Amino acid sequence: MKIIDLHTDTLTAIKNDENIVENNRLHIDLKRAHESGYSLWTIACFLNMPQHGGTLFQDACSYFQKLDKDIEANSNIAAPFTTYDEYIKNKESGKVTIFKSIEEGEIIEGKLDNLRRLYNKGVKMMTLTWNYPNSLAWPNYPRENLNQAETNFGLTETGKKVCLELNRLGMLLDVSHLGDKSFYDAIEFYKGPIIASHSNARAINPSVRNLTDDMIRIISKSGGVIGLNLCENFVTKTDDYLNDLVLHLNHIKAVGGIDVVSLGSDFDGIQTPPLITDCTKWNILFDRLSKEGWTDEEIEKLSCKNFERVLKMFK
């Protein structure tokens, strides 16, 4: 069974003398992804805004340049994502397609031209925020001085323009990390398939990083998908981690339908999760789902088919 992962932080987790090809210190690398049946690996450029000051865009470009070199040097097993048709060719030849994304919209430094430049470098998806308010939007991360989530602040005027430009370019909007009002603002301006690359169900775990039932329905109606996040903070309801993963998936499926579920591990951006400790362990989840009554067709939709449907927009 092929695997598509909608979110990993491997690119900025590697050290200066390392690469993405073979690194057992990480949750995922190219060699293990290839051996484990990955057909598409989403590699996000995540930059912690306070640590990069005024060099966010420049630093992101440097990271993507390094990634391009790693892909080119391993073209026998990897290829950059370009179009759906090329992805299918890569899949049939056993290659891992690398899908570039941005996690932290401030990387574009509030400039639409920088967004266009990243698009031209092959970036196909972007979150508007990470955990900090920025020039585009407010996140859903609780601020200590407020003792509550920043749910009442939405998109800035620049953020609205960015959503419109994502539409025009044909890029995907990733709503993970957006505050509630920012989410509802964004869907007023962005009209493509909505992606929550690494988010779970708030009805199962009340973290504000998770999605309400209304959000799940909206994402499903848009033709988008929701990637199951393996981070314990957003999963656990009981002492049975694997059961809780199934609870999230069953709830999302019940609310939004089978066509909205996907995988978004957050590998290399979180502490090592229980059981599914790296990219070689997805079968632990698939086997449990099978025992819970999921059909092979449903599990394959989760593992790859649902996001493959979304990829058809890239012609």
pLDDT in tens, 5-15: 999 999 999 98
204's tokens? 């199962």
Domains and CATH numbers, the chain: 3-311 (3.20.20.140)
Instruction: Give CA–CA dist 23/14, Å, rounded.
Output: 9
**DSSP assignment, residue 244?**
H
For the cut 70, the answer to whether the pLDDT of residue 246 exceeds it is yes
- The Cα 137–Cα 141 span in angstroms is 12
Predicted confidence band at 141 (pLDDT cuts at 50, 70, 90)? confident
pLDDT of residue 70: 96
Beta strand segments in the chain, E = 3-5, 38-46, 78-80, 96-103, 123-127, 172-174, 194-196, 225-228, 261-263
